[in-house]
Amino acid sequence: MKKNRSTSSGFRAFFAVIWRNPLSRIGFIILLVFLLMAIFGPLFIPTLKSNYAARLQPPSAGHWLGTDMAGKDVGLQLILGSRDVLLVAAYAASFAILFACVIGIVSGLRGGMVDEALMLFTNVVLTTPSFPMTMILSMVIRTTNPLVFGLLLSLWSWAGLAKAIRSQVLNLKHREFIEASRIMGISQFNIILHDVVPNIVSYIAVNFISIMKNSITASVGLMILGLAPYQGNHWGIMINVAISQTGALLGSGSMTYFLAPVTCLMLFQLGSYFFATGLDEALNPRLRS
């Protein structure tokens, strides 16, 4: 007794909607390019060798985006760096969402003392200025591990989302279909997984993209300030070095060393934003016609 997969649910429908909306289609393509660049790029690039004779060169046939102050090809660095950029951002967003979901859902469903305690904690985190705190933490911790860096960045980005999720859950809690599930003896865990989460998934997904965006900005900000605890390849580090050590802003031939990562950053932000506009519709069956 096979059942036919209808096209109104599942991945096919999801992508159909993303593709249909011109903005989200562009966003999706941009993000896909970066994703592919991050996954496959570093596999094909040999270790970059320094070549001090050819440092700070403008774009040429051999080096499409010029070279940096150690003579390494900028374009290749960009590709190498993309992996870390995306990884850090993805970790940061994942941790932030995880914290926000756990706290928001438990708080919303349990209510009472648990709710009050968790919300007090959330409010404290929310009202602490996040960037200064992140700066302080990064002066203390030094790491090359993108996961740890991501965790660090997430510590102050989950609070707003937690409150929003909690209010969504409070909204859902008294809806009849949740009551119906309780009457059918569905376990609390299954109610969360099957009744609550699907109704906040589109909300979470849109926020995932937005948190990724913000953590990239935060990490780049830290790096430009020279505070980054991070030592690996990263566009932010490229920007930092370009500004502080090569006078790129002053118009030397190494402009591309500065411009290339900046442009990539902007493109990524733009792509995320465009993609997010289509996400809500794609994940919410009622908004599809």
Partner 1 sequence: MSLMELKDVSVRFDAEQRKGAKVRALVGLNLQIDAGEIVAVVGESGCGKTTLGKVLVDIYQPTEGKALYKGKDLRSLTREEYRQYRLGVQMIHQDSYAALNPNRTIFQSLSMPLLQHKLVKNKNEAWDLLSELFDEIGLNPAQLFLEKYPHQLSGGQRQRILLARALSVKPSLIVADEPVSMVDVSLRISLLDLMARANKKYGISFVYITHDLGTARYIAQHGRIAVMYLGRMVELNQIQAALDQPAHPYFHALIAAVPEADPTLRGGKIAQLPLKSFDMPSVINAPPGCKFHPRCPYANERCATEEPKLREFRGGLVACHLVETI
Helix intervals (H) in 128-254: 130-140, 146-154, 159-173, 176-183, 188-190, 197-224, 235-246
Distance CA 139, CA 176 (A): 50
23, 274 Cβ separation under 8 angstroms: yes
If one asks whether residue 6 binds partner 1 (CB under 8 A), the answer comes out as yes
Stretch that binds partner 1, among 3-11, 36-44, 208-216, 249-257 (CB under 8 A): 3-11
Exposed, middle or buried, 29 (CB in 10 Å: 0-12/13-18/19+)?
A: middle
Position among 22, 132, 247, 285 found at the interface with partner 1 (CB under 8 A): 285
If one asks whether residue 187 binds partner 1 (CB under 8 A), the answer comes out as yes
Pick between residue 4 and residue 47 the one whose CB is nearest to partner 1.
4
If one asks whether residue 284 binds partner 1 (CB under 8 A), the answer comes out as yes
If one asks whether residue 3 binds partner 1 (CB under 8 A), the answer comes out as yes
If one asks whether residue 111 binds partner 1 (CB under 8 A), the answer comes out as no
Stretch that binds partner 1, among 144-152, 159-167, 173-181, 220-228 (CB under 8 A): 173-181
Least CB distance from residue 27 to partner 1, whole Å?
Answer: 23
Write the interaction track for partner 1 spanning residues 196-215; mark x where CB under 8 A is met and - where it is not: --xx-x--------------
Which residue do the tokens 């896909």 mark?
Answer: 32
Position among 50, 128, 190, 244 found at the interface with partner 1 (CB under 8 A): 190
Stretch that binds partner 1, among 26-34, 110-118, 244-252, 281-289 (CB under 8 A): 281-289
Exposed, middle or buried, 186 (CB in 10 Å: 0-12/13-18/19+)?
A: middle
Closest CA to 277 of 10, 37, 23, 15: 23
213, 269 Cβ separation under 8 angstroms: yes
- For residue 73, the cross-strand partners are 67
If one asks whether residue 132 binds partner 1 (CB under 8 A), the answer comes out as no
The residue ranges that bind partner 1 (CB under 8 A) are 1-4, 6, 8-9, 175-177, 179-187, 190, 194-195, 198-199, 201, 284-286
